[in-house]
Chain A
Amino acid sequence: MKPVYILNDNMITSLGFTTAENILAIKKGTIGIRTVNDPLLYPNPVPVSIVNDDLLNERLGEALADHHKTSPSDAFTRLEKFFIISIHDVLKNSPVEKGDPRTLLVISTTKGNIDLLEDRFKSKFSHKRLYLWELGRVIQQFFGFVNMPVIVSNACISGVLAIIISARFLQSGAFDHAVVAGGDIATEFVISGFQSFQALSPDPCKPFDLNRTGLSLGEGCGSIVLSIHPDTSRTPLVRVSGASVSNDANHISGPSRTGEELSWAINQAMEQARVSPREISYISAHGTATLFNDEMESKALENCELSNVPVNSFKGYWGHTLGAAGIIESVATISTLRSNYLYRSAGFDTLGVPSPLRVITTNRPGEVNACLKTASGFGGCNAAIIYQKD
């Protein structure tokens, strides 16, 4: 099977607008989740990781100027601004031509421009903008991609699944390059929904910890350029070497009791990558910090004989960013791989899951050659992907 390489990446969270800014913040131990008292987001104060609006508009201005666009910044929704800044950054230093018919654009989002349901936006944007394909079209046209974007909306695995679908389309020979971008914003729509589930933690989330009390929401966007042509000027080369998706067939809003379906996806991904559990040197888990998700993941990793591998969840830094999560956490995973440097799992202190896990408690150097990224979500879906140095 053709190798698919990672050429370039970007991520936007409350911690920064580029991969480098985010990684620097993580190294310093900065937590982006803060208690926000904003009645436009929720009637009561709620911990959430929010991207600063002034900085967002400043970065958008730079992207618009670079593209010689005269459109005013308020021509775009908040989420469209995220996508424009992220994709602009990732294309800046990449050999990929947007206008090339061999380039595919794949967009991942769970809720798209859902804020446009709020009365305050009704006069500003047309109803059509609520449709995810219209969001895709705005982004496609802004950059001049020739192919209609593929849009993936598959709950919390959307981001990982978008990368998997892109890699598969590249491997099948249909395209040479893919720009995969995923984003979601924090809205009252989503916060009120998770709050109704009593799934939100009153404090910044603590994945895998004994005292975890639920998840924290966040907003963000990430982009990755994939290609069948390696960029030999940037070493080490990193590629997608295996991937799989499964369904629990158990419950629409709760994970599998045994974790066996996530295990199956992980085993399939490892088999495809031709790596054994012993060759996996790092795991970037989904780690939402809900009671049942983290329990399920620990069981799944034990089933796969991966309990002894260093593992973290990046959600302790910027919360659960939904359709962005799989992309930005993959970007942080790829950074771990490139730099041979493992990051602490923020919020973690004492192990509180039924199966053993080796959660990373301090930032430290560590040889990383093959790593596993997982995701699980509502609807019972699971995804696993292996990133590997060439």
Chain B
Amino acid sequence: MRRAVLILLPYTWLAALFLVPFLIVIKISLSDTALAIPPYTPTLDLTQGWEGIRTWWAGLDFENFVFLTEDDLYWKAYLSSLKIAVISTLITLSIGYPIAYGMARAPEEWRPTLMMLVILPFWTSFLIRVYAWKAILSKEGFLNQILLATGLIDDPLIILNTNTAVYIGIVYTYLPFMILPLYAALEKLDGALLEAAEDLGCSRLSAFWLVTVPLSKQGIIAGCFLVFIPVVGEFVIPALLGGSETLMIGKVLWEEFFSNRDWPVASAVAVILLAILIIPIVLFLKNEEKQREAEG
């Protein structure tokens, strides 16, 4: 009895506030825009009984999805979000791996401090960390001041409001998400395995590729998903650091909703975004489950 309550309470909460909302998004993506409150039609009128449900059902169609395929803004935004997410995940991995590796190889008494140094930015406001780059990358910003003062450049670099700034912002804010799972995997790695590989004639580099990398695979997978999936739908970074050339679907969805007030189209954009992300999300969840089982 008590067990049932324990299961049902969080389950019901998640069903009501996570699963049901998705069904509503799908429903509204099939509706039409209207000048009304709420701004879409048809709305379900249960007071009319079956007749109400029938007229509501008849009013649903795939018009918004057809619209999304006709206007090339949308598919360009999806493609460009995916491209930005892939590239920034790879950059984050290549920066995060040496850091996590260095942490895992550091003397044991350093590790808690190093760990805390990674966690601190992770706890610090995302918005503020993105904002910090605005002052650094702007035309009169910190970076240009240093480069001009040292004579490395003669004219200020234009970085803010370009895709470069978006990449810098993404790599910066998501780096802790990459480092933490990598560190967790690398820390468990038995140093004796590397010594064995070297004794058996491996060079240090090939021991790294043949032993360290495969054994940290789960950390690499977890880290890449933790960066890739949210970045595809990222809004704050392109909105603050990107420019007119930056096309990302999270921003398109936001504008569709808040500026154009076109809820059905915004919902259709969200449904397709979810359809694109569902495979990586399921893979991520499977990887987590596998890791939990390995630990438990």
Same complex for A and B? Answer: no
Q: Which residues of B contact A (CB under 8 A)?
A: none
Q: Which residues of A contact B (CB under 8 A)?
A: none
